[in-house]
Amino acid sequence: MDYKKYIAEKVNVEGVSKEELYDLIALPPNLEMGDYALPCFKFAKVLRKSPVMIAESLKDEIPTDDVISEVSAVNGYLNFKINKDGFVRATLEKILTEKDSFGSSNEGEGKTVCIDYSSINIAKPFHIGHLSTTVLGGALYRIYNFLGYKAVGINHLGDYGTQFGKLISAYKRWGDKETIEKGGIRALNELYVKFHQEAEEHPEYDDEARAYFKKIEQGDEECLALFHWFKDLTLKDVQKIYDMLDIHFDSYAGESFYSDKMQPVVDELRAKNLLVESRGAQVVDLEEYNMPPCIILKSDGSSLYATRDMAAAMYRKDVYDFYKCLYVVAYQQNLHFKQFFKVLDMMGKDWAKDLVHVAYGMVSLEEGTMSTRKGNVVFLEDVIKKCIEKAYKIIDEKNPNLENKEEVAQKVGVGAVIFGALYNNKIKDIVFSYDKVLNFDGETSVYVQYTCARAKSVLSKGGVPASYEIPALCTQEIELVKAIATLPETVQAAAEKYEPSLIARFAVDVAQKFNKFYFDCKILAAEDEQTKNFRLALTNATLQALNNAFALLGIGIPDKM
């Protein structure tokens, strides 16, 4: 139940909308005063009365009922007390009956959301820079499905361009099958780096590379076979990481998939008089929108990243008839998305407004930033493995007799990497620190996981009560119930704002409140049976809420830690 909404409905202030009232209602600084407060200061001008008088007169107009148990006016604030028994009973009942679907809804029924995420480049390292797009996209994918949408996960592979000609040239000159099979992406990347070094002295290698790329495009059997082999090797390599992170795709249609779907785009642009020539290239002028031109065809007639993205957007609209199409891509590409979204809009595609660039910030490692061009690439796989190792060490120290230490370390380590990337507002740049993400007392996944293990241990000792009554409630219990009750609105907001961090923050908040409850109130040694049963039920509901939140983020919860 949304109490703010309920209260907003009951209050009537001339000239102020229900939405405005809703936004003004907040938690009072002092919880003794009430559960919600409406500051009346903003109404003074309109009503030409002092806030104190406004609060006083509003108070008399609002009847108490099953939900609102008390209304008071204090210093220009209108304070509300909620009937806690009813609220607590309703919340626990909802969670314990809905179980794994608590927080879900069917708001998205019949709507498809395409999510372009991870979108790796073939034969290039899967480095820490891909962490955010992969876990953010993965979380959005689960969140939309949870809200009843049909999510379509798309890995828009970077599998097009002269770099594949370069790879073929390098492979033929220096490569051998066995090394590449064994080394996967790393071996391919080494070939690629070597090519660049050598080509500085031998510019003719670049011509050769271009010729090989042309051969791929023309369907030359040998070149195509090599290209597919590079692609398969890359996908096999990254699949290991996707498995660890619980990431799934419905389509791997990458850039090369659109090589035969770009001509219609060019034709349509030309027919709509949108193409102009600029230094031999075909471009769409965007000066009117304060952007540089969007290049569609180079002077040699070859296509660009934007051309392929336009073909992809049109294809997706055709095939999936999306309600929205999200691109989870770093903010460095802001201009690219703004440009081709605009061009589609100029072509009269009314659905261009449904394309959303979900931009996120940079991730760097504490030791120093990484770069793809130089040799100091940080492979995501190495980061995850190191996190699992470190988690193992900590667990082994804390609880040497724990069973399945490896399995627990895996959940803790992987969870730490995911949570580290998801905890902050996505647009912020983050500095990844192993110590920080693995801090048992921080705002971390391991803190939440540890809290869950604590709750599980309590339940395994006390059992899950078949029924319970609401006893006299203490503040810690009420605060905890208020927190867990917000999961549905949190999930909804996360989808609306493309911000899974809201769910991560929900989990930390709930865990903190559970721990406060756990330490301040006795659960198993409660003063009477009724209180004990209720507290066990509350523990169970808390665990369920945390479980659902973590499932959406793709993080597992160990039974014991």
Chain contacts with ligand ARG (rule: CB under 6 A): 116, 119, 121, 156, 158, 309, 312, 327, 329
Query: Looking at the chain, how many residues does it have?
Result: 561
- Tokens 């049909």 sit at which residue? 150
Nearest-approach distance from CB 338 to ligand ARG, in angstroms:
13
| 54 versus 154: smaller Cβ distance to ligand ARG | 154
Q: Are 68 and 83 in contact (CB under 8 A)?
A: yes
Q: Are 266 and 296 in contact (CB under 8 A)?
A: yes
**Alpha carbon distances (Å) from 120 to 168, 204, 223, 254, 394:** 19, 29, 21, 9, 33
Q: Are 555 and 139 in contact (CB under 8 A)?
A: no
CA angle 317, 318, 321 (to 5 degrees): 55
Tell me how crowded residue 68 is: count the other CB atoms within 10 A of its CB: 20
- In the 3-class helix/strand/coil scheme, how is 513-525 assigned residue by residue? HHHHHHHHCCCCC
514 vs 518: CA distance, rounded Å: 6
Nearest-approach distance from CB 309 to ligand ARG, in angstroms:
5
Q: Are 528 and 168 in contact (CB under 8 A)?
A: no
| 259 versus 492: smaller Cβ distance to ligand ARG | 259
| 310 versus 485: smaller Cβ distance to ligand ARG | 310
Reduced to 3 states (helix: H, G, I; strand: E, B; else coil), residue 214 is: helix
- Supply 459's token pair: 């339940």
Q: Are 432 and 363 in contact (CB under 8 A)?
A: yes
**H/E element, 102:** none
| 309 versus 499: smaller Cβ distance to ligand ARG | 309
Tell me how crowded residue 374 is: count the other CB atoms within 10 A of its CB: 8
| 116 versus 477: smaller Cβ distance to ligand ARG | 116
Nearest-approach distance from CB 116 to ligand ARG, in angstroms:
5
CA angle 455, 458, 461 (to 5 degrees): 150
| 36 versus 160: smaller Cβ distance to ligand ARG | 160
Tell me how crowded residue 537 is: count the other CB atoms within 10 A of its CB: 23
Nearest-approach distance from CB 255 to ligand ARG, in angstroms:
8
Nearest-approach distance from CB 158 to ligand ARG, in angstroms:
4
Nearest-approach distance from CB 271 to ligand ARG, in angstroms:
25
- Strand ranges inside 131-235, DSSP E: 150-154
Nearest-approach distance from CB 265 to ligand ARG, in angstroms:
14
331 vs 183: CA distance, rounded Å: 32
| 343 versus 521: smaller Cβ distance to ligand ARG | 343
| 303 versus 544: smaller Cβ distance to ligand ARG | 303
Q: At what angle do helices 405-422 and 445-462 cross, to 10 degrees?
A: 130
Tell me how crowded residue 411 is: count the other CB atoms within 10 A of its CB: 21
Tell me how crowded residue 93 is: count the other CB atoms within 10 A of its CB: 12
491 vs 461: CA distance, rounded Å: 32
Nearest-approach distance from CB 114 to ligand ARG, in angstroms:
10
| 116 versus 509: smaller Cβ distance to ligand ARG | 116
Give backbone dihedrals phi and psi of 18, rounded to 5 degrees, phi first.
Answer: -60, -35
Nearest-approach distance from CB 504 to ligand ARG, in angstroms:
24
Nearest-approach distance from CB 337 to ligand ARG, in angstroms:
8
| 116 versus 443: smaller Cβ distance to ligand ARG | 116
313 vs 290: CA distance, rounded Å: 23
Our measurement of the distance from residue 339's CA atom to the centroid of its chain's CA atoms, rounded to an integer in Å, reads 24
> What b/e string do you get for 94-108 counting C-beta neighbours within 10 Å, with b at 16 or more?
bbbeeeeebbbeeeb
| 6 versus 323: smaller Cβ distance to ligand ARG | 323
| 37 versus 313: smaller Cβ distance to ligand ARG | 313
Q: Are 445 and 415 in contact (CB under 8 A)?
A: yes
| 123 versus 312: smaller Cβ distance to ligand ARG | 312
| 235 versus 402: smaller Cβ distance to ligand ARG | 235
516 vs 505: CA distance, rounded Å: 17
Q: Name the H helices within 321-404.
A: 334-346, 380-398
**H/E element, 273:** none
